[in-house]
Amino acid sequence: MGVKSKIVIGNWKMNGSAELVESFTRTMLDNQAAYAGIRVVLCPPFTLLQAMADALEGGPILLGAQNVSEFEQGAHTGEISAPMLASMGTKMVIIGHSERRASRGENDRIIAAKVKQALSVGMVPVLCVGETAEEKARGDSGAVVWQQLSVVLHAIGSELFGQLIVAYEPIWAIGSGSTASTDDILTITTAIHAKLAQLGIQLPLLYGGSVNAGNAAQISSLPTISGLLVGGASLQAGQFLLLCSNTAKGA
Ligand code: PEP
């Protein structure tokens, strides 16, 4: 059910500096053997994309972004378009992160439009879905996640949807120090794979939410999981390197 090589995506959120890009990428690139066989992607803030692109050039780590405009160009002050990101060598883009859904007003229509923009320039959208603690307590996790996926699926169709990476990120697990249990991850992701399979779609499903170097191997080796989306633990090079290496060992 998983997809061949595991993926680890680091989401720096609104953190980092030119100095961090320099020291972080040096550590990662000097120790490539530790994570050979998995795909690593780093998503710094927009202002550090060019420095990160330069530092990663020629190496195995891919460049990702944390957001993209739903518009292609024009009078959208402060927005960054998909063609702009692609021109910097950005290969993936996180879309629909719960922090943007909750505090930037991103609804399913906007998220679907962003996915279309990313695909139109050949970037892989990493579509984030996940339930709140209340929805989980009501037993609604599966339904909530499927609803978030279906809106995008209906907007773009199954052929394009199959080009996405989906990250299952329970909102209550993000930045909380508590991951979802492996049983819960398996239940939700098995159900997603099964529903998508009925539509002829197979895609990589990642897990995100308080992943660290200690739990990465166990979670990433679940049969339904193709990798990890990592926030806090992607900011410290030594920890992220160990997380990637533990994922590679379990792959
Ligand atoms: C995230 O923000 O996508 C995330 C998974 O964060 P953290 O790893 O810090 O929980």
Q: Which atom of ligand 1 is nearest to the CA of 169?
A: 5
Give residue 250's pLDDT.
Answer: 81
Distance 135 CA to ligand 1 centre (A): 19
Angle, vertex CA 166, rays to CA 163 and CA 168, nearest 5 = 170
Locate all alpha helices (DSSP H) within the chain, ordered by sequence: 18-30, 49-56, 82-87, 98-103, 108-120, 133-137, 141-156, 158-161, 182-198, 216-220, 237-250
Angle, vertex CA 140, rays to CA 138 and CA 115, nearest 5 = 140
The pTM for the full model equals 0.96
Ligand 1 site-directed mutation target among 95, 210, 225, most atoms within 8 Å of CB: 210
Q: CB under 6 Å to ligand 1: residues?
A: 11, 169, 174-175, 208-211, 229-233
3 pLDDT exceeds 60?
Answer: no
Distance 75 CA to ligand 1 centre (A): 32
CA–CA dist 112, 98 (Å, integer)? 14
Residues 6+ apart with CB under 8 A from 80: 46, 65, 67, 68, 69
Give residue 103's pLDDT.
Answer: 86
Give the model confidence (pLDDT) of 184-228 as tens digits.
Answer: 999 999 999 999 999 999 999 999 999 999 999 999 999 999 999
235 pLDDT exceeds 60?
Answer: yes
